[in-house]
Amino acid sequence: MKIVDARVIVTCPGRNFVTLKIITDEGVTGVGDATLNGRELAVESYLRDHVVPLLIGRDPARIEDTWQYLYQGAYWRRGPVTMSAIAAVDTALWDIKGKVAGLPVYDLLGGRSRTGVTVYGHANGETMDEILVEVARYLDLGYRAVRVQSGVPGIPRTYGVSADKMFYEPADAALPTETTWSTERYLAHVPSVFARVRDEFGPDVRLLHDVHHRLTPIEAARLGRSLEPYGLTWIEDPVPAELPEGFRIIRQHTTTPIATGEVFNTIWDAAQLIREQLIDYIRMTVVHSGGITHLRRVFDLAALHHVRSGSHGATDLSPVCMAAALHLDIAIPNFGLQEYMRHTPETDAVFPHEYHYEDGYLHPGDAPGLGVDIDEAAAARYPYAPAYLPVNRLTDGTLHPW
């Protein structure tokens, strides 16, 4: 079998997605997600101009060799654009291999290790009353784990709080909007939110919180310690993670578990955090981490060090990425949790998929391959629209992580 064509499809059914579709001489096709929020066209060009010409004529069965060819062969290693492009190729080749074998991809990865993939949803609100309504709604839908984000008194717009509760979309403008931040107000407010939520909903629900890279290690240590009475499953991205040794400071002060990794793209970003057991959950996902082949390597390293998976699953990762993540989630021994932000009906229609939600779990389905496709005619109805994530400033105007 040979690869005869590969198309890069950019579509915007409410938000932008980049998808690679690989076509073989025997008519079998495979899809891979290549979406990099706010930088979509860079990956489109990388694939179209620099990768697709290298794929024509290759044997689609040689997944590892193709991965190494694109990674080592570029000479320039790592980085989100390169790794998202490699991920798209890798994911599409796993899809093809599954279809050729007549097996779901999770069977090629060793088979099921569990019956379903436990997911967490996003409850958020400006006020405590709104938050309580939202947590209750997720529990009614069957969720066992809920991420809670709250408005902070005195800050006009806070990360994670949105008007549309089911379809959160932070890339909300053709040029970046600006938000404001006060660490002091945030640290003073958040513990009271979790005290109330725990009190209202009891000990069973797993609670999570995303800090979105906004603290220093010692501030994160204070937050972790102040949240200990409420037994969180994790605080996420407490600090920007370029400095792994900074996590030692957090660890010295708190037993609140730590999750990080959604902006990582290779095993080298995560290796020290995992080897020193400075984190409890690694949140890398298929599209930004070099595909199923490379993420499996990350999860295997994590398994040796008591670190579990907690894959990123925001709306800017397409249903193709979600399908691929679910095949890994169901197969690996050290699965932790999977983030699940629902896509809009328009997006679901462009990407028909087998995976489905039931009673707190996602199930990848049993179709051969990944069980997901792109409807190219539907995709063509939604042209690319520039959209950026916000930027963030302290109250004195200093730029701060968003």
Contacts to Mg ion by CB under 5 A: 210, 262
**Hey, CA dihedral for 32, 37, 40, 43, is it positive or negative?**
negative
Query: Cα(15)–Cα(160) distance, rounded to whole angstroms?
Result: 17
Nearest approach, Cβ of residue 332 and Mg ion (Å): 20
Pick the closer one to ligand CS2 by CB: 48 or 212: 212
Q: Distance (Å, rounded) from C-alpha 281 to C-alpha 247?
A: 13
| Least CB distance to Mg ion at residue 314 (A) | 7
Q: Which residues lie near ligand CS2 (CB under 6 A)?
A: 37, 170, 210, 212, 262, 312, 314, 316, 339, 389
Q: Which residues contact 140 (CB under 8 A, 6 or more apart)?
A: none
Question: Which among 159, 281, 361, 382 is annotated as catalytic?
Answer: 159
Residue 185: partners with Cβ closer than 8 Å, 6 or more residues away: 152, 153, 154, 155
Catalytic-residue membership of 159: yes
Least distance CB 176 / ligand CS2 (angstroms): 12
Q: Among ligand CS2, Mg ion, none, what does residue 339 contact (CB within 5–8 Å per kind)?
A: ligand CS2
Residue with tokens 């955090």: 273
Q: Which of 11, 149 has the CB closer to ligand CS2?
A: 149
Q: Report, in Å, the least distance between residue 278 CB and Mg ion.
A: 18
Question: CB of 123: closest distance to Mg ion in angstroms?
Answer: 15
- Looking at 141-243, list the stretches that DSSP marks H as alpha helix, in order from N- to C-terminal side: 183-201, 217-227
What residues are paired with 181 via a beta bridge?
A: 394
Q: C-beta of 402: minimal distance to Mg ion in Å?
A: 11
> Rounded to an integer, what distance in angstroms lies between the CA atom of residue 37 and that of residue 25?
32
- Residue 40 binding target from Mg ion, ligand CS2, none, CB below 5 to 8 Å by type: none
Scan for tokens 């609100």, then name that residue. 125
Residue 170 partner contact from ligand CS2, Mg ion, none using kind-dependent CB cut-offs of 5 to 8 Å: ligand CS2
DSSP conformation letters of 316-373: TS-HHHHHHHHHHHHH-TT---EE--PPPHHHHHHS-BS-EEETTEEE--S-SBTSB-
With respect to ligand CS2, which residue has the nearer C-beta, 67 or 281?
Answer: 281
90 binds, among Mg ion, ligand CS2, none (CB under 5 to 8 A by kind): none
Q: Which is nearer to ligand CS2, 37 or 150 (CB)?
A: 37
The CA-atom distances, in angstroms, between 51 and each of 79, 81, 84 are 15, 12, 12
* Residue ranges in 6-127 assigned as alpha helix (H): 40-45, 52-55, 63-73, 80-101, 105-108
**Nearer CB in complex with ligand CS2: 66/124:** 124
Report the residue number, 49 or 178, with the smaller CB distance to ligand CS2.
Answer: 178
> Looking at the DSSP assignment, which residues form a beta bridge with residue 353?
372
Catalytic residue among 122, 209, 212, 288: 212
The verdict on whether 312 is a catalytic residue reads: no
Spatial separation of the C-alpha atoms in residues 133 and 247, rounded to whole Å: 34
Residues belonging to the active site: 159, 212
